Amino acid sequence: MPAPTPRTASPSLAFPAFPGAEAARLLAIQHQLSLSERWTPAELRAAQARQLDLLLRHAAAEVPHYRERVTAALALPAEDLAGRLAAIPVSTRSDLQAAGEGLRARRLPAEHGKFATATTTGSTGEPLRFARTSATNAVWLANALREYLWQGRDFSLKLGAIRMFPNAAGEPTEEGIRQPDWGPSVASIYPSGPGVYLSSSLTPDAQLRWLQRERPDYLTSYPSNLVALADHAEARGVALPSPRELRTIGETVTPESRARIESAWGCRVTDCYTCEEAGYLALQCPAGTHYHVMAESVILEVLDDGGNPCATGREGRVVVTHLTNFITPFIRYELGDFAVPGEPGTCACGRTLPTLARILGRRRNRLTLPDGTRVFPTFGIWTMGKEFADAGVRRIRCIQRSTRLLEFVLQSGRRLTEAEEARLREIAQAKSAAGFEVAISYSQDPAFWKAGKHEAFFSDLA
Ligand SMILES: [Zn+2]
């Protein structure tokens, strides 16, 4: 796929194009990213240290929550990035909720532009209110564009997404929503094909009908939804459309769900690691299944139980510092996710950005074994539905109720027979290998399924 030519804002100057002001800014940021992704680690750290220094000075002066927290760091030289980070206490989500208005900067430098408030729709507990500026949006768009360019997508084709719609979009319909282009990250610069969107709250039948009708070339959705559609199509004997590429968002892609999706849909899965608070955190490498950290906009640390950076291959807590949000700064913010740092050095794709070997999910997605060990389970919950297709099983969620009891909740056309329930217990026990007692229950309550978003497993013990 040759690099596309930007749209020109000057009719008599088509090549090289003379883009308009907004497109020019986005392209200018994207151009820098295309260079910095090949810098040496020392060059990247030096640039991060410079921007972190600006953020810390601003936070110390204008943001009550951080005033005390960054004092010790600011006493160290700006170049000592690791030392400065280690000197700042980690803020959890509840710390930031407790901070309330104290998280908001009293003054914002004019160059950050206008700001708008947002609320995380976290799967549990109280939402977190924060704000984004024109500057954070510009960086968000540049990273979004970067993802499209990395994966070599052809902008002239049709982009599709099946995902949750914000309430503002109104009641979801089976027709979905049609846009003339791919949205601002692409269409503000390049000509593009249409974008089509459907709500993931519709039934698998409605989603499959829409896919057959629209046949998008690229499809974005949640891994669990793509597995559910594959299972459903298989059970009904319906063929899945074959997009060029599936793009996954919003949930952890396990090796198991990746294999299931790629074989059923017959195309490659590329995953994005994002969060509402800080936008793009990492993108899947075009040459593998690991991720590259968006190190120009976030400092992403993976920390062990003692708060020290994890070695390559060791899992730990994800802590992020968003370098451009000056209105509600996120400085050493613990997201609640777990990840495994990948190999340092130059990647097969030629980039040098730090890597994550795997993203494991959230604290509440960890299973506690009877001996107290915590693991991320591989029950194959997403693929279990297929075993019970006769009962019209649409979704299965496993909840750890105690160190001895796992409850499997099913959304199904009918209750399982005794033989089917025995089979489900057998599979669950074989896969957990820890002698759990297994309870089975049924729920058709949309509120229950919505509450945990798309999580297939979570633990009450977290
Ligand atoms: Zn790479």
DSSP structure string for 410-462? EE-SSPPPHHHHHHHHHHHHHHH-S--EEEEEE---HHHHHHTTT-SEEETT-
Contact 27, 189 (CB under 8 A): yes
Contact 218, 153 (CB under 8 A): yes
Q: At what angle do helices 255-265 and 223-236 cross, to 10 degrees?
A: 40
* Cα-to-centroid distance, 286 and ligand 1 (Å): 6
Q: What is the pLDDT of residue 459?
A: 85
182 burial via Cβ count (<10 Å: 0-12, 13-18, 19+): buried
Residues spanned by CATH 3.40.50.12780 within the chain?
19-153+244-362
* Cα-to-centroid distance, 37 and ligand 1 (Å): 10
Query: Residue 105 is encoded by which pair of tokens?
Result: 């900067």
Residues spanned by CATH 3.30.300 within the chain?
367-459
Separation between Cα atoms, residue 319 and residue 37, nearest integer Å: 21
* Cα-to-centroid distance, 349 and ligand 1 (Å): 4
Separation between Cα atoms, residue 53 and residue 59, nearest integer Å: 10
CATH topology classification for 367-459: GMP Synthetase; Chain A, domain 3 (3.30.300)
* Cα-to-centroid distance, 270 and ligand 1 (Å): 13
Query: Residue 142 is encoded by which pair of tokens?
Result: 């540049």
* Cα-to-centroid distance, 121 and ligand 1 (Å): 31
Spatial CB neighbours of 14, under 8 Å, sequence gap ≥ 6: 5, 8
Question: Which residue is it, tokens 């921007």?
Answer: 51
Taking the chain (462 residues) in runs of 10, the rounded mean pLDDT of each run is 83 95 96 98 98 98 98 98 98 92 97 92 70 96 97 97 74 90 95 94 90 97 89 88 94 88 96 94 97 98 96 96 98 94 95 96 81 74 71 84 91 90 85 80 82 71 76
* Cα-to-centroid distance, 343 and ligand 1 (Å): 10
346-382 in b/e form (b: 16+ CB < 10 A) is ebeeebbbbbbbbbbbbbbbbbbbeeeeeebbebbbb
* Cα-to-centroid distance, 375 and ligand 1 (Å): 27
Contact 277, 120 (CB under 8 A): yes
* pLDDT tens column, 328-376: 999 999 998 999 999 999 999 999 999 999 999 877 778 888 888 778 7
Query: Residue 365 is encoded by which pair of tokens?
Result: 């997605």
Separation between Cα atoms, residue 297 and residue 389, nearest integer Å: 45
Question: Which residue is it, tokens 């919505």?
Answer: 450
pTM (2 decimals)? 0.88
What is the C-alpha radius of gyration for the chain, rounded to an integer number of angstroms? 23
Separation between Cα atoms, residue 103 and residue 59, nearest integer Å: 9
Contact 356, 291 (CB under 8 A): yes
178 burial via Cβ count (<10 Å: 0-12, 13-18, 19+): exposed
* pLDDT tens column, 373-417: 778 776 666 567 677 878 888 778 889 999 889 999 988 889 999
* Cα-to-centroid distance, 386 and ligand 1 (Å): 34
Spatial CB neighbours of 154, under 8 Å, sequence gap ≥ 6: 1, 217
* Cα-to-centroid distance, 354 and ligand 1 (Å): 9
Return the CATH number of the domain spanning residue range 19-153+244-362. 3.40.50.12780
Query: Residue 245 is encoded by which pair of tokens?
Result: 């590429």
- The residue among 387, 382, 401 whose CA lies nearest residue 441 is 401
